[in-house]
Amino acid sequence: MHRSTTIWIATLAAALAAAAPATGQTPKTNIYRYVLDVDAPEPAGLVALDLAGAHVLRGSAPKPISATIVHQSVPNAGWTTGAAVDIVPYFFLGGGARRLPDYRANSVAGRLTRVITKTALSVAAGSDPAAAGSLLGALGIRTTFHDPHDPVLNSRLPEQVDSALRAHGIDPGDASVEDVARLGVDLGPLFADATRRMRARGDIQVSAGWGLAGRLRGAALDGDSTERFRHTLWLTGQHSLDGRLDLLVTWQVRSLGRDDAAIRLGAGLQRKSTPADYRIELYYDRATRRLHPGASVEVRALPGVSAVASLVSDAPIGARGRSYARAGLMLRYYATSRP
């Protein structure tokens, strides 16, 4: 486990260094000013723990930081409670100050930078109903390779925001300012228009993730307490059919490299509305040789805050021919621009 985690962190650190902004005269802006309040993806750590409340996952880009609490039913064992924290290292290290021509460039460095800005690390833990005094723990990483809904890349939102600020006598040049909502200018119509334009583009958002999960005896993580860690790998795409309807497709391998490895392939539809998002899914589990349906409703209570209720058909890892229903409740916070 330690070797795999070290390799991921070392690779990310090297990529961060390689994508450092080049010297130039173009003023910098902060790309994290323009995080739209749509489609927060499932935490990678909860996906690894199989507590994400869905098996067909979103392909959207991660938010700079998010925190999630989940409460999910377990057959013959009551309920399990878990939590996850996801953070984009590029955001955490202050990498949001970028020159727009550099960020938008189709060079290797430009493309690499965009991938790094959409790479999130995830840490998750949950109570283990099968073993009193133990926790389930997980580490995960998730990245978005292709994001046609990036408003910094594919819209004039940064320039429009700068123009609106200047019209009110405010200098937008301070790239350290991440929250433009605090500057006292109503930018809501600009962000709403950018959201509509990005979804109207269609095209496919493509993301991938990896997670490592296992049981922690005595709620402690050390060389003698970890048991039977499982790797999970997934690739997911999200295609906007129109401004309100998305097609989701996910390929997932659980227990990668083990005898009880299971492949899951599924598709789903997401219907978006102003107060809530509605999702249905159907996936095939090669281990059970069955189709498993699921549904969820995500209600946005406040900007950056949502609540999710889900009901999915599932099967324990390594099971043959068995399935059961799992109900779940989830509360999420994620950083987003709030004009």
What is the reported pLDDT for 184? 80
User: Using an 8 Å Cβ cutoff, are 100 and 152 in contact?
Assistant: yes
User: Using an 8 Å Cβ cutoff, are 262 and 253 in contact?
Assistant: yes
Residue extents of the structural domains in the chain: 2-334
**Ordered DSSP codes for 249-290:** EEEEEESTTSTT-EEEEEEEEEEE-SSEEEEEEEEEETTTTE
What is the reported pLDDT for 92? 86
Looking at domain 2-334, its CATH architecture is Beta Barrel (2.40)
The series of mean pLDDT values per 10 residues for the chain, 339 residues long, is 51 48 65 89 94 94 95 82 95 86 90 93 88 83 94 92 88 78 84 87 92 74 57 95 91 81 92 91 89 94 91 71 83 85
What is the reported pLDDT for 21? 44
Residue 268: HSE in the Cβ half-sphere, 13 Å Cα cutoff: 31
What is the reported pLDDT for 255? 79
> How far apart, in Å, do the first and last CA atoms of the chain sit?
42
Angle, in degrees to the nearest 10, between helices 157-167 and 188-200: 170
Residue with tokens 């949001």, as numbered in its chain: 96
Q: Global pTM?
A: 0.84
User: Using an 8 Å Cβ cutoff, are 205 and 187 in contact?
Assistant: no
DSSP tag of 22: P
Q: How far apart are CA 211 and CA 239, in angstroms?
A: 24
